Amino acid sequence: MTATIPITPVTAAGAPAPRSSRSSAFEYLTTKKDELVGWGRKFSIFPYPFVTACCAMEFMAVSSTPYDTDRFGAALPRFSPRQSDLLMVVGTVTHKQAPILLKVYEQMCEPKWVMAFGACATSGGFYQNYATLLGIDRIIPVDVYVPGCPPRPETVIDGIMQLQDRIARQRHPIVNDAF
Amino acid sequence: MRDAILASLREAFAAPAEASIAHGTFVVALAPESVVATATRLRGEFGFDLLQDVTAVDWPRRALRFDVVWHFYSTTQRVRVRMKTAVGEAAPEVETLTGLYGSAGFMERECHDMYGIRFRGNRDLRPILLYEGFVGHPLRKDYAKEHEQPLVPYRDQQ
Amino acid sequence: MSIELPSPVRAAFDAESEDAVVVNIGPSHPATHGTLQVIAALDGEKVQRVDVHCGYLHRGFEKECESHTWHNLMPYVDRLNYCSALINDFAYCDAVERLMGIEITPRCRYLRTLLSEYSRICDHLTCIAASLMELGAMTAFLYLVMLRDHMYEHLAALTGARVTYTYGRIGGLARDLPDGWLARLDEILVEFYEFTGRIHGLMDRNRIFIDRTRDVGAISSADALHWGFTGPILRSTGAAIDLRKDMPYLAYAELEFDVPVGINGDNYDRYYVRMREMDESIRMIRQLVGKLPQGPICVDDRRCTFPDKQLVYREIQSLINHFKLVMDGPQVPAGEVYVAHEAPNGELGFYLVSDGSGTPYKVHVRSPSFVHMGGLHKLLEGYQLADIIPTFGSVNMIGGECDR
């Protein structure tokens, strides 16, 4: 039987958390606060469909009946990066398109997430040549990779659900690292 | 009826060009100087009203490295013609056909992008499929397929 | 992180050189159907000059093809016009078969014709759905995409994939029809009339739709030919030019169908020509289902058709045949050929150059969308800024085909 090791709460920076955050009532409050914000965010995703290629066909299919991203709150596309929080990169991104992708990503406000929709956005797909950016994670950070060429709508929905889990698990410090 | 048209084309363009029929298409191979004159004849006299395609083929071991290839189609007679000419690497230039066909504009830009063929008289040879700052002509046989020229620096190199 | 981002294109004009407002539309834009950039010089709302930039989806198709075998590059061919991937497959296979001197079996010929028309319906549905959605008709989009989804699932039952099928093979097809496929086809064709009946009811005499599309983006037949337009755009100007009638290939010579033409060459005509073309496609499909002969799918020619798997396991000659076909590719005799099919966008041509080996020397695609982009300024200049959207939607630029 291993000895139990007392766990000292730490902040994100690694320093021990202040004593007041160790009360369980306080931690219950912060957990519930995080869950509430996560719940609100994950069910109201505003995607920016950065559509380039063939995956657009499956994007159109997943947005409409019978697959319907509206069930997940993720239906309303916002074609301005300022108003959206999920950048769905749908299709191949070439080197010519890369500056535009980076510009759109930088124009989005926090919190923002990125979904690499399809094999080409994930790794360049099977276009391993001079023209293609071999994976959008070379220029922007990606949260969820949806494989497929193009992915079936069910795969996309699985990706959205995994992203929702990720969003729900995030911590949201409001005042300081502890609260 | 198509055979009659193909035969008459063969007669009209037999000299000094090389004329043949391959897979149902009339093919005429000529010198670069005769390109515009031949195209004008095809369009005016023979009614080839659609320019379908302008492209090039790279034969690196040949003396005249590039074959520039045009495809024409006559909507009235339903016949196709392929016109070819050969240019060398040192001076890969031909006359433009934008005076005869508007559709030649974009197609010549692509040919210039991919092979480096210059079309005299086409004032707009900006990159169309490639981007500003791309060096080289990718469809030439000596351009390596994986040789990328990224515009945006990668995240792991900043 | 803020770095100086270079502009990948050089505009033909800019704000200083033009005495007008210069607006940039795209290449990431909801209504550009993919990646296209239109730089427009405006006088108020009126478009004076337009500079069209494509190439944002240039994925190096031709260069990729030169390092694959004639068989292996089929998935790349699919992804040219991804809305009607089967037509790309069959046009390419036709070109290789012409070079090799192969004649496909009758069943394959009829099936390829049937599936080409089916793909044409999928493409026109996508085009009409997207262009109507941009005008605000969201209901029409949902109806048409639902119908298209049923077709995708149906094609997935046959080929294994919904959007990009890689179903064509040199000398034949990948596999034969499964049981019940034709029965389901019948059901979908009946459903088609129900859905498109609703679209006709919503759109054809809709005041707003007519105001936004009639006399907008109009072009004459002579101009259209000069700028290289083919397909529904050329037919909407009144010119009945269709490769299926003019230079029949596959089984089109044996079918009865009309070629719908428009009057003015404007957006409304293009919408209506596409709707009527879908009706004609269904007429052809019904005839083909009646005429479909029994027999093998693939031609019995060891130069391109894989031997039966059981023979590959048991006989050395089949094993070596299979090995050579996979590793070296089918040996296509040296020569060149240009073969064009009537794709939903216009004339889709493949110019193949072979040096006698199993790897192509050159695979060039004559893409209708690319040529149309060269003439797009004729449709946009002189109209309003808001007209760019329906006009562009009616031209149906497919990025994969345009930029290759």
Q: Does B146 touch chain A (CB under 8 A)?
A: yes
C264 CB-near residues (< 8 Å, 6+ apart) = C214, C215, C218, C236, C237
Q: Which residues contact C16 (CB under 8 A, 6 or more apart)?
A: none
Cβ–Cβ pairs < 8 A, chains A and B: 41
Residue C11 within any structural domain of the chain: no
The answer to whether the CB atoms of A57 and C83 lie below 8 A apart is: yes
pLDDT by residue for chain A (179 residues), tens only, comes to: 455 565 665 555 666 655 555 678 888 888 888 888 888 888 889 999 999 999 999 998 998 888 888 888 887 888 889 999 999 999 999 999 999 999 999 999 988 999 999 999 999 999 999 999 999 999 999 999 999 999 999 999 999 999 999 988 888 777 777 67
> What are the φ and ψ backbone dihedral angles of C71, each rounded to 5 degrees?
-80, -45
Q: Nearest chain A residue to C126 by CA: give it.
A: A57
Q: How far is the first Cα of chain A from the last one, in angstroms, to the nearest whole number?
A: 35
Select the residue from C103, C362, C365 to test the B interface by mutation, using most B Cβ atoms within 10 A.
C362
A176, part of any domain? no
Q: Model's pTM, two decimal places?
A: 0.91
Whether residue C296 is contained in a domain is answered as yes
* Chains touching C, CB cut-off 8 Å, 3+ pairs: A, B
Q: Is B59 on the interface with A (CB under 8 A)?
A: no
* Nearest partner of C370 among C81, C124, C132, judged by Cα: C81
Task: Kindly state whether residue A75 falls inside one of the protein's structural domains.
Answer: yes
- Asked whether residue C124 is assigned to any structural domain, the reply reads yes
SS3 content of chain B, % helix, strand, coil (to 5): 25, 30, 45
Domain range enclosing C347: 61-403
**DSSP 8-state code for residue C231:** T
Among residues 118-137 of chain A, which lie with CB inside 8 Å of chain C? 126-127, 129-132
Any long-range contacts for C12-17 (C-beta under 8 Å, 24+ apart)?
A: C12/B124, C12/B126, C12/C39, C12/C49, C12/C51, C13/C39, C13/C41, C13/C49, C13/C51
Domains and CATH numbers, chain B: 2-157 (3.30.460.80)
| Token pair belonging to C333 | 């005799």
**What angle (nearest 5°) sits at the alpha carbon of residue A147, between those of residues A146 and A151?**
90
Domain annotation covers residue C266? yes
Number of domains making up chain C? 1
pLDDT tens digit string along C88-102? 999 999 999 999 999
Question: Which residue, among B113, B134, B149, B152, would best test binding to A if mutated, counting the most A CBs under 10 Å from its CB?
Answer: B152
Question: B47 — contact with chain A (CB < 8 Å)?
Answer: no
Q: A-chain residues within 8 Å CB-CB of B154?
A: 138-139
Question: Nearest residue of C to residue A134 by CA position?
Answer: C59
C309 lies in some domain: yes
Q: Which amino acid is residue C71, in one-letter code? A: H
Beta carbons of C233 and C346 less than 8 angstroms apart: yes
**Total of domains in chain A:** 1
Give the integer Cα–Cα distance in Å for C168 and B121.
42
Per residue in B109-121, pLDDT tens? Answer: 999 999 999 999 9
pLDDT class of C1 with cuts at 50, 70, 90: very low
CATH code of the domain covering residue C181: 1.10.645.10
Single out the residue of C340, C336, C398, C337 nearest to residue C369, CA to CA. Answer: C398
- Residue A174: inside a domain: no
